[in-house]
Amino acid sequence: MFLDCGIPAGDIRTGKPYLPGYYRVRKQWDLVVLYKEVLVAALEFRSQVGSVGKNFKNRFEEALGSATDLAAAHKKNSPFGAVPPWLGYVFVLEEAEETEKLNRQSHALFETDPVFKGMSYTQRYQEMISRFVGENVYDIGWFITTQRAEDGSITYKEPLPTATARTLQVAIEGRIKLVKAMLAE
């Protein structure tokens, strides 16, 4: 998508490139895109297959921590210059009995947000990504669920209409246009 928008291949960094943090020295991101030495985007790619109950909280905390740290680094030290960071979160979840089971417990010492009552893990991930984007923790998300058939083939769904390949593509196109406009002389 970034290549299609005119970003040179050399400015698309994979292989766990580092960006500075505020609460920690640095953090590896899965995809970092630059344009004329300006940070266009940083994306996290995460997936989960099995052990959802054990790892859901970890995935949430990782995602929140990464975005919060980068935002604080920009606010406090401005290592990215005048163009603020733009963050994306891509999550792939394998559908299984554990992920689809409704009426998950949501009790705590104090009243929890009623939205979570009875949600499956798949629904909780959708809510997490919706809130991340809605609260500007991340600028865009993409949520995919996969299902393996008995013949070994894999199908996928995009159950969250605001976090699809198409919304990601449109957001990337808009971001690149904005950065190019900001850098125009």
pLDDT tens, residue by residue, 87-114? 999 999 988 777 777 766 666 888 878 8
Alpha helices in 34-160 (DSSP H): 52-77, 97-100, 121-134
User: What is the pLDDT, as a whole number, of residue 109?
Assistant: 84
Is 185 a residue whose pLDDT tops 60? no
Sequence-separated (6 or more) residues with CB below 8 Å from residue 91: 46, 47, 48, 59, 125, 129, 141, 142, 143, 144
48 neighbors 59 (Cβ within 8 angstroms): yes
Sequence-separated (6 or more) residues with CB below 8 Å from residue 104: 118, 119, 120, 121, 124
- What average pLDDT score do residues 40-54 get? 83
112 neighbors 144 (Cβ within 8 angstroms): no
Is 78 a residue whose pLDDT tops 90? no
Question: What pLDDT, in 10s, does the model give residues 107-163?
Answer: 688 887 888 788 888 898 999 999 999 999 999 999 999 998 889 899 999 999 999
Q: How far from chain centre, in Å, is Cα 76? A: 23
Q: What pTM did the predictor assign?
A: 0.88
User: What is the pLDDT, as a whole number, of residue 106?
Assistant: 66
Query: Rounded to the nearest 5°, which phi and psi values hold at 68?
Result: -65, -40
Is 168 a residue whose pLDDT tops 60? yes
Percent of residues, the chain, with pLDDT higher than 70: 95
